[in-house]
Each structure stands twice: as C-alpha cells, then as structure tokens.
Structure 1
Amino acid sequence: MVDYIADYFEQLDKRQVYPDVEPGYLRPLIPDSAPQDPESFEDVLKDVERIIMPGAASPACTELETVMLDWLGKMINLPEEFLAGKDSEGGGVIQGSASEATLVMLLAARTKTIRRIQSENPELTEAHIMSKLVAYASDQAHSSVEKAGLIGGVKIKNIASDDKFSVRGSALKKVLHEDRAAGLIPFFFCATLGTTPCCSFDRLLELGPIWLVTDYRHWQIPLGRRFRSLKMWFVFRMYGVKGLQEYVRKHVNLSHEFENLVLQDKRFEICAEVTLGLVCFRLKGSNELNEALLKSINDARKIHLVPCHLREKFVLRFAICSRTVDSVHIQFAWKHISKLTTELLKAQDKQQP
C-alpha cells in the first residue's frame, strides 16, 4: 500500500484530471453483496486501480458508499425497502459520528412533522408548532440524544426502562397518551440498540413503525464527504461475511467467559444482561467501595476500565473490543481484578476498629 501511494503521487501528472465515467458506473462493476470468505489484499488493491481510480474525483466516493451500505444492510438482513435498489426509496449514508446521525434524524422528523401539521392547519406558525413538539429516548440513551434536542430546539423526554434497561412498548404508549392529552405533539422516538452504559437493547418490535427520510440531499449535514466507504470495502472484502461473524461471536463468547468468572466469585454481581462484548459488574457493597476498586485497577495500569451508573449504582464496565483479544487476556484481567479486590478488602478490614 505504501508503494502504491508513492507511485500514485509520482505519476500524478500522468493521470486524468477529470473522470470520464458516467454516474452509476460503479455498481455494475462490483458484486451486489459482500463476499462470504476473505479475499486477498492484492485482489482488493487491483480493484482500487480498476474500479475506484477512474472515478476518484467524485462518482466513486458517492457510489461506493451507496453500495457498501447496501452490503451492510444485507449482512444484517434488512428488508429490501431499506436498500438503495432501482425501485426503492431506501439506502444509507455514513454520518461523521453517532451524535451527528441522531441530530440529522431529529431534524428530519421535526421538519416532516411541521410540514404535515401546517398542511392540515395553515393558520399555525412554525414557532407555535415547535413549542408543542416533544421527542423521546430511553433513560439509558447516550447524552448525544439530549444534545440533539437542544440543537433542534425541542423537548426531550426520557422513557423509563425495564429491569433489563430496555424500553418497552407499553411504557412508551403510556407517555405518548399523557402528552397528547396535555396538548403536546409527540414526533420522534430514538430507540437504542446497545446503550452506552450497559449495551441494552430497546424492544424495537414493540415500539411501532419507523418512517424513512426519502430526500438524499438532506441525509447529512455537510455538503462534502470523506471517502469512508473505501475503508468499509477493504474490511468487508478482507474479512468476508464469515470472518466478521467469527469476529463478533468471538467477542460474545469471551464476554460470557468473563461473566462466568465474575459469577463464580461471590464478592461480585453482574449488573446487566451480557449481550455483546460488554460485561457490567461490581463488588457487592457501596458505590464508594467500587470507586476505590476502579481507582486501584486503573492506577495499576495493567488494564483499563470505564465506569457507568445504573439505577444509581456505580458499575464497572469490562469492554472486549480488541481485534487480537483472546481467552488468555480474559483470564489475566480477571486474576488481576481479583487480586486487587482481595488487597482492597484486606486494607478496609484493617482500617475498621
């Protein structure tokens, strides 16, 4: 890759300044779905020159993103209407961050709602409608949802989650009924699949229909874009669907391995259902005790943990996210945590009169 980049810059004056390809040129040149098995780096690099570089000034960037998000949609079994097919109004765009994606969704929903209400009640001003709008999110949702509400100028209400930290349809319906009765206009619910604190999943099938934005120009805030889809193309081809499945399943298995180690030690408790590669756990006892344990772990600089609060409990988060992590690292981390816990509890016993 380094040689390719060096050759590219050395031969830049020999390349075409403007692409000679037509819009829509790229999709027929690549498969309509990700490969099941990994492909070689050499094959991917050849296709960069053959497929990407002829449209590098613009079309390739836009069109590869459309195709890569269709690949992703098929990998997670999204219905066809979510994909950017010939007769579909679906498709996706890569946002700069989760915060940006949330804001774009909220602004799109706000605009659609205002237009609908004004078409039914032309006498109502945009300012009047805005004052009545209310959006919703889980009480476990990321702070970026609240930030989107502040930027969008609308109220955000938190919906109480259940004992698994998931929002249920019944809880949302109750709040919607109360707010409509109070004269408010519910217009947006931000469901969460994998909350930041504990990776909980809202019950999507209970939370009602999802509407789609259909104007491509308004799918993002910036007018320009980075070539992020090229990275996706490399990853999808060099891992293959099977490789990505193995990657995720390995992290899930390792998280359950760590969960079992925690459950075998009666000093600890699991604080949330283990779904993907995140284990939320704590010492049975006060928040102050767990804060002291976290400080001891991070001060030792052998592993690093980040905390969260669940139902006012101070909780430690063990996140498995490295490409090279293996069982030996899980065992090492747990032995280290267990050793520091023993030392902490002994020190506390000595301090007691």
Structure 2
Amino acid sequence: MDPEEFRRAGYAVVDWITDYWATLGQRPVTTQDPPGTVVAALPDAPPPEGEPVAAVLADLDRLVLPHLTHWQHPSFFGYFPANTSGPSVLGDLVSAGLGVQGMLWSTSPAATELETVLLDWLADLLGLPERFRSTGTGGGVIQDSASSATLVATLAALHRASRGRWRSTGLDRRYRAYTSTEGHSSIEKAARIAGLGSDGVRTVEVNPRTRALDPAALRAAIRADLAAGEVPAIVVATIGTTSTTAVDPLPEIGAICAEYGVWLHVDAAYAGSAAICPELRWTHAGLEYADSYCFDPHKWLLTGFDCDAFWVADAGELVEALTVLPEYLRNTASETGAVIDYRDWQVPLGRRFRALKLWFVLRWYGAEGLRAHVRSGVALAGGFADRVRADDRFEVVAPHPFALVCFRLVAGDEASAELLARVNGTGRVLLTHTRVAGRYTLRLAVGSPQTRPEHVDEAWHLLARTATEVLADLPAPA
C-alpha cells in the first residue's frame, strides 16, 4: 500500500466509522444470533490474492456489525462504559501511523515525556495528592488496564514487604493481600500471578448498607495474620466497586495501613473519572495514605481502550521491584538517571504510544468538556433511580453516587431474572445483573457519549411495561 493508496483507503475507513456512529442508535444493542454464526460465515482460509479495502468494508457491514455488542450504543447500559470518541480514535490512528516503541526514553523521547506530563495533568485534574507528581518522588504511567495496575502494585508491595528478597530469591514466607468481598476479580488474579495463590487473598466483610469495606474487620484480619506469623503486604481499597459502585472508607483504611506498614493500593478504575468534578472529589478523602492509585480513562473519560492511569508515591520502589537490565537495553541516557524508562513501570517490555489518544482527548474537550460528560451521566442515572423509587414494584438496593443504579423487583430473584432476560431479548437495551446481599439485582450503567434523556426514558418504560407482563405471569400465591 503506497502513500496514495493509504490516503484513499484511510478516507474510506473514516467515512465508514462516521456512518457507523451516525446510525448506531438505529441498530439493536446486541446480536440475538447463536454462537458460531460468524465462524460459519467466514471462509476456511485467507484469500490467495490481495483484496481491495472496499471488499473488507463490505464484509464488515455483512459479517461483523450485525453480530456485535455495540458498546458505544446510546442504550448500552450493561457494563461500565468503554468510551471512545472522535479525538481518541484520531490519536490512536496517529499512534498506529507513527509505529514507535516507547519502552525506553531513548527509543522514543517524546513518547515518554508526553506521557509523564499528561499523567501530571490528570493528577491535577483529579486533585490527587502532590506525592503522585513526577516533580517529586512519585509519578504516573499508562498501563493497559486496572488489572495490570493492580498486579504491578502487588509486585511492588511484595518487594517492600520482603525487603527486596522477593526479587532475588522469591517468596520465603506467606504474604497476604486484603480486599473487600466486593473487590474486583483482578485482585485475586494478581495474587495468583505474584505467587501468593488464591489463599493469599483475605476477603474482608463489608458494611451491609453501604457495601464498603469494614475497617474493623480489616484490622482484625491483619492482626490475625500477624499472630499466625504471616506478613500483610498489600490492601486494595476500591472507589466504585464493580457490583454497586461502593466507596471504601480510605481515611480509616489508610490509617490502618500506615499503622502496620502495609502498602495501600486504591483501585478507582471506573469511578476515578468522577473526581474531575470537584463536587464528586469527596471519594478521594484519605488518598494521601495511598502508595498507589489507578483509574481508567477508557471507561468514563472518552478515551478508547486500552488506557489505565496508574500513579505511585515512590517510583523508586516500583523500579526496584520490576527492573531487569540486559546488556542490549543499556544506553547513555538511562545510565545518567535523568530520564524515565517506562519499561520498568510495567510487566511487558514494549509499549505503545497510548498517551497520544489521551492528549487528543484532553486537548479537544478540555477540563470543562470532560466534566460535562461525567455530570450528564450522573444526572441521567439519578433521574432513572427516581423513577425506580416511585414505582412500588421496584426497589433501589444500593447507593448510586455515580452513574450506576442497582435495582430489582420486590417480587424476588426469579421475577427480576425474568425481567432482565425479556428486556435484553428485545435488543433495544442491554443491562446486566449482580447479586447484592445474595439477591439477584439488575444494573443500569449510563456512560455512552451518545446517551440522552430519551434513551434512559425508553429503558425505564420498557422495564416498567415488561415488569407488568412478568408479574402477571407469576404463579398465584398458594
């Protein structure tokens, strides 16, 4: 593909994406076709000769689009959003076109330095403690996801707890990680990868009303492990749990971690974006105790996947835990100690120029544009929750400080599960479910940049009408 061919093909692809976005609301949110549909429609082998881009785009229309779950759809309410936007797509396109590898400062100086500055910008926008800025001992880096950020934090915490022995000799004692029963599954996965095993994770009970970690239970778990000769290494607190967006009490948790010398990592993957709005920054009270913190701009900040922003208070500890320096990576700039080599801040060696899409987004929307997007989601979710509360057939089952509402039919689990199945089966909306205190619960998460009040209204009217049908079909009481 020569430059002129690329130009023509690029115009065609951008036009195709533009048309897709323009017609997205007219499509079903997700396919109702059975597994294997796309496999059956694809040829058994690649083409022997090259084909024009027009043929590929035609097959996108024929084979791919009808069988997607459309995460950017205005009626996608299923999971936390995986936002993208025009500026983000353009930034990714530039990154792909440049094709640079930013593992070392010397391999792409601008890629490293732009990322460093952007993470400081974000820290300012979220009001993070000064200790996370690159101008001091800390700093930020873009990981692929909050799962990777949790793994990296766990490795750094083990390095500290073992006084460096973990790096050279492995784990010679039983180390422990702590999180609430509502903590993300990536915490257990990080513990497994780090060598702790699933048994190395202590799940701490939550407050039954708020669903947030109980500090007294955390203290009791740490004391019990210490008495048994085990080593508390890391506590993972959550701002915005996946099931209900509960906010763990960081001031109390942080004080316990400081008392016992335990690394505190704060996972704000979804809800961290909310802190761009000053009125929602209360969630960060106590963050000054944290050794590391992360959130995902790719969830609610209009930046396409993958883009997790991860900060540490002491970058030296992280680098000590992760650096491996073969001869072929040695270079003059690194040896001066005056540059950042982000390969030492992550598990992989190589890294894409992810900062470009974030730069495009921040430049295009500005702080006020991003705040408007977050506030819109919070307001739409709040209005939906009001509709639920006003209907005595339903109940809201958890606080909703952000843009997720957890609710269910008072009639019980079977009725709530049937309601979800019927509503999702229409293809007009997509919701998901969780369990809160053991009870089947529906989740409606607002986040698509295309979602407007009329889409939330339609979701409610569909739920209300379908609830009437579901309840009418229930067997009469004996």
TM-score normalised to the size of structure 2? 0.59
Distance 1:220 1:54, change over 3 A: closer
1:153 aligns with 2:279: no
1:262 aligns with 2:388: yes
SS in 2 for 1:344: helix
Equivalence for 1:302 = 428
Contact 1:168–1:206, Cα closer than 8 Å, also in 2: no
Equivalence for 2:53 = none
Letter in 2 for 1:158: T
Equivalence for 1:112 = 160
> 1:79 & 1:206 partners in 2: Cα distance?
17
Using the TM superposition, give the Cα deviation of residue 116 of structure 1 relative to its aligned residue in structure 2, in angstroms.
Answer: 6.0
> 1:251 & 1:291 partners in 2: Cα distance?
25
Letter in 2 for 1:206: E
Equivalence for 2:172 = 128
Letter in 1 for 2:172: H
Equivalence for 2:18 = none
Residue from 236, 245, 248 that aligns with 1:190: 236
Letter in 1 for 2:115: E
**CA offset digits 1:310-342 (Å, max 9, x no partner):** 111111000101102111111111001000000
> 2:137 & 2:244 partners in 1: Cα distance?
34
> 1:105 & 1:282 partners in 2: Cα distance?
36
> 1:73 & 1:289 partners in 2: Cα distance?
45
Contact 1:99–1:145, Cα closer than 8 Å, also in 2: yes
> 1:53 & 1:333 partners in 2: Cα distance?
42
Contact 2:419–2:467, Cα closer than 8 Å, also in 1: yes
**CA offset digits 1:84-125 (Å, max 9, x no partner):** 11xx1111111111211111110111112112689xxxxxx7
Residue from 197, 200, 208 that aligns with 2:246: 200
Letter in 1 for 2:186: S
Unaligned runs of 5+ in 1: 10-40, 119-124
Letter in 1 for 2:116: T
> 2:385 & 2:226 partners in 1: Cα distance?
43
1:340 aligns with 2:466: yes
Contact 2:244–2:406, Cα closer than 8 Å, also in 1: yes
1:210 aligns with 2:290: yes
> 2:395 & 2:182 partners in 1: Cα distance?
20
Distance 1:54 1:273, change over 3 A: closer
Equivalence for 1:271 = 397
Letter in 1 for 2:121: W
Structure 1 residues 202-211 or 314-323, which shifts more? 202-211
**CA offset digits 1:237-281 (Å, max 9, x no partner):** 111111111111111111100000000000111111011110000
SS in 2 for 1:243: helix
Residue from 124, 127, 143 that aligns with 1:95: 143
Contact 2:222–2:232, Cα closer than 8 Å, also in 1: yes
Equivalence for 1:35 = none
Residue from 375, 379, 384 that aligns with 1:253: 379
Contact 2:100–2:108, Cα closer than 8 Å, also in 1: no
SS in 2 for 1:164: coil
> 1:198 & 1:190 partners in 2: Cα distance?
17
> Which residues in structure 2 correspond to 1:1-353 (within 5 Å)?
6=7, 58-85=108-135, 88-115=136-163, 126-129=170-173, 132-154=174-196, 155-162=200-207, 163-208=209-254, 209-211=289-291, 212-215=313-316, 216=319, 217=323, 218-349=344-475
> 1:232 & 1:90 partners in 2: Cα distance?
20
> 2:290 & 2:407 partners in 1: Cα distance?
34
Q: Percent identity?
A: 38
SS in 2 for 1:233: helix
Would you say how many aligned residue pairs link Structure 1 and Structure 2?
Answer: 303
Equivalence for 2:48 = none
Distance 1:344 1:156, change over 3 A: same
SS in 2 for 1:92: strand
Contact 1:277–1:321, Cα closer than 8 Å, also in 2: yes
Q: C-alpha root-mean-square deviation of aligned residues, in Å?
A: 2.8
Unaligned runs of 5+ in 2: 11-86, 255-288, 292-312, 324-343
SS in 2 for 1:282: strand
> 2:202 & 2:243 partners in 1: Cα distance?
18
Contact 1:90–1:214, Cα closer than 8 Å, also in 2: yes
TM-score normalised to the size of structure 1? 0.79
Letter in 2 for 1:182: A
Contact 1:73–1:83, Cα closer than 8 Å, also in 2: yes
Using the TM superposition, give the Cα deviation of residue 213 of structure 1 relative to its aligned residue in structure 2, in angstroms.
Answer: 4.1
Contact 2:202–2:221, Cα closer than 8 Å, also in 1: no
